[in-house]
Chains A and B, each alone.
Chain A
Amino acid sequence: AQSVAQPEDQVNVAEGNPLTVKCTYSVSGNPYLFWYVQYPNRGLQFLLKYITGDNLVKGSYGFEAEFNKSQTSFHLKKPSALVSDSALYFCAAMDSNFGNEKLTFGTGTRLTIIP
């Protein structure tokens, strides 16, 4: 069975510092990987995806993520954190042979940017 792990429930970063939110995955075939962000009492918003090609993927709001096949990781990064980046972040993965109905979400990481 496929799975997604976000090992940190909470990440605190000072404003202006680089941030990393970690994600590892397990899928049987080639992975399709996604990051979503959720603000309080709202739905999730799509940030970025990895399908194929360049291992460094750029997305919305200055975020990027690096796909590492050997470590089965897809960590979310941003060079300089903003207070407005504070939110709940979800990593998601699916096998490329299937569709969204087989998308597996991680348990989420709460990111807090400290002014």
Chain B
Amino acid sequence: DGGITQSPKYLFRKEGQNVTLSCEQNLNHDAMYWYRQDPGQGLRLIYYSQIVNDFQKGDIAEGYSVSREKKESFPLTVTSAQKNPTAFYLCASSKRGNRWDSPLHFGNGTRLTVT
């Protein structure tokens, strides 16, 4: 079955360490997104990419970095500069970056805890 795979499901890190979250899709979607979910705050966009080798900052990009070297993959690095990194991170994809007729498909998320 096609879908989005996020790994790992749970991740624990010490403060000051960078950590990379994996996101792979086999839906042949052009666009991919990273969201952060915090209780009572809904979803906030971190970064998005509409095509390979190109990505754009979302609303809360500070302290994060991404790459898009392959269509299928869009890893997110949470750097030590992110002041409050503990959260639930969701990766999503859609068929095209600028079309309404393509709802987002989400992975099952990675819960990151930084202590």
- The verdict on A100 contacting B94 (CB below 8 Å), with A51-B101, A107-B42 known, is yes
A51 to B101, CA, bound (A): 8
Query: How many A-B contacts at CB < 8 Å in the complex?
Result: 70
| Chain A interface bracket (under 10, 10 to 19, 20 to 34, 35 or more) | 20 to 34
- B interface residue count range (under 10 / 10 to 19 / 20 to 34 / 35 or more): 20 to 34
From B109, which residue of chain A is reached at the shortest CB distance? A43
Contacts of B41 in A (CB 8 A): 107
Q: Complex Cα distance A42/B50, Å? A: 24
B56 at the interface (CB under 8 A from A): yes
Assess the B90–A44 pair: CB atoms within 8 A. yes
Given the complex of chains A and B, what is the CA–CA distance between A105 and B90 in angstroms? 13
Residues of A within 8 A of B (CB): 4, 9, 32, 34, 36, 41-46, 49, 51, 90, 94, 96, 98-101, 103, 105-108
